[in-house]
Amino acid sequence: MTPAQRRQHYDAWRVSGMSRTAYARQHGINNKTFWHLCRSFSADDARGPAPADNRPAILPVTLSVSDTATLKLQCVCVTASPAGIAAIIRELNLC
């Protein structure tokens, strides 16, 4: 059986809805041979296509400075300027 024929049998089996054993029996293929064939193709499919380029993608990033900060405590959230949050932390003796 050529590699192209093996791939055709594997693809046909996948869409047939049949068990491996039933497909192999119907097409006159040795059960163990077909099992190994399916195993090798399923491992290839799991790996997925080879990446075209190994370099990481470059994504544009925009950063902005926030004028506020949020302090989250057990029962309350306070949004204020960073200096205001620092004053609240000092008042509550959190540091």
CA dist., res. 80 & res. 49, Å (int): 50
Could you tell me if 11 and 41 lie in one domain?
A: yes
Q: How far is CA 74 from the centre of its chain?
A: 35
Could you tell me if 10 and 43 lie in one domain?
A: yes
Half-sphere exposure of 48 (CA within 13 A, CB side): 2
Q: pLDDT tens digits, residue range 59-87?
A: 787 877 778 888 888 888 889 988 888 88
Q: In terms of residue numbers, what domain contains 29?
A: 3-47
Q: pLDDT tens digits, residue range 7-61?
A: 899 999 889 888 999 999 999 999 999 999 888 887 766 665 655 666 667 778 7
The two tokens of residue 73 are: 């405590």
pTM of the predicted protein model: 0.46
Could you tell me if 40 and 9 lie in one domain?
A: yes
Our count of domains for the chain comes to 2
Q: Are 21 and 33 in contact (CB under 8 A)?
A: no
Rama region for 21: left / alpha / beta (φ>0; ψ in -120 to 50; rest): alpha
Q: What is the pLDDT of residue 92?
A: 84
